[in-house]
Amino acid sequence: MGIHLDGNQYGKSEVRVFKVERAERDGRDDVRDLTVDVTLRGDFDAVHVEGDNTGLPATDTMRNVVYAFAAERPLDDLPAFGAALVTHFLGLGPVRAARVRLREHPWERLDGGTHPHAFQRGAGGTRVEWAEGDPEGVLHASGVEDLLVLRTTASGFSGFDRDRFTTLPETDDRILATLVSARWDHEPGAAGLEAAWPAVRDTLLAAFADHFSPSVQFTLHRMGRAVLEAHPAVERIHLSLPNRHHLPFDVARFGVEAAGAVFEPTTAPYGLIEATVERD
């Protein structure tokens, strides 16, 4: 029986970087709060099979590179920062491919956005950027995680299959809530990626709200289609929408007259709807 080492990779994960960029002219500080993951692939067979670490970049070195690059250059363009890291790692001996994932944790200024150096945790989801490269070049993808959205009406679910195990009632009026995760791939050489991210997110939000939703599946497809129609440089988008159920709670049994509809939000179990929408 033959045994061989198959595909392998390694890297440094969860590198936390918080940078304050001080603007001397107007006294307004800017902050970028990132979590960086680095993954390398290459000719590392001898490391695994023979225990020979010759030429192996240490993961501690990867961490230090992230901090050094963050210190010596502005972080006003995250895709460019990711590409710079990928290009550096591709220059290390046995490395044949490199991938960097950047997650940005949002902060917002206090006092309606006017305070020069006081912030609160922001909303709008976690921004994600991927840069992946090999000797042929660097490709980019962007995404969002933890984007919690909700509609109080204009959503239903009916006409689905029923059998003896089905207890779910049909409805034409329900709360629709989900925690959006999305990843979209940019065509090679696409420009303006820093500005593209908020524009794509805004398109997703608008498409979530602009229609009657007969199902999460329909809304997912509408959101993906809207992104492809509005952003020609996006080749495809993958969406993951967990159904965050809000179940009507019957307070009439307690002799209580409700002044509004009362629901019980649940986190588990939940329906999970996923799909990729792409160009022909």
Tokens of 1: 């029986």
Task: Enumerate the domain spans of the chain.
Answer: 7-135, 141-280
CA-nearest of 183, 185, 157 to 170 is: 157
Check if CATH label 3.10.270.10 holds for domain 7-135: yes
**Same fold across 7-135 and 141-280:** yes
Note if 12 is an active site residue. yes
Topology of domain 141-280 in CATH is Urate Oxidase (3.10.270)
pTM score, whole prediction: 0.93
CA-nearest of 170, 188, 205, 197 to 103 is: 197
Note if 59 is an active site residue. yes
Distant-in-sequence, close-in-space partners of 122: CB < 8 Å, separation ≥ 6: 106, 107, 108
Instruction: Catalytic residue, from 140, 186, 245, 246: name it.
Output: 245
Instruction: Catalytic residue, from 19, 35, 39, 59: name it.
Output: 59
Bridge partners of 141, per DSSP, are 130, 185
pLDDT tens for the 280 residues of the chain, in order: 799 999 899 999 999 999 998 876 677 899 999 999 999 999 999 999 999 999 999 999 999 999 999 999 999 999 999 999 999 999 998 999 999 999 999 999 998 888 999 999 999 999 999 999 999 999 999 999 999 999 999 999 999 999 999 999 999 999 999 999 999 999 999 999 999 999 999 999 999 999 999 999 999 999 999 999 999 999 999 999 999 999 999 998 999 988 778 999 998 999 999 999 999 9
CA angle 275, 148, 192 (to 5 degrees): 70
User: Alpha helix locations (H) across the chain?
Assistant: 45-49, 59-72, 78-90, 110-113, 193-209, 216-230
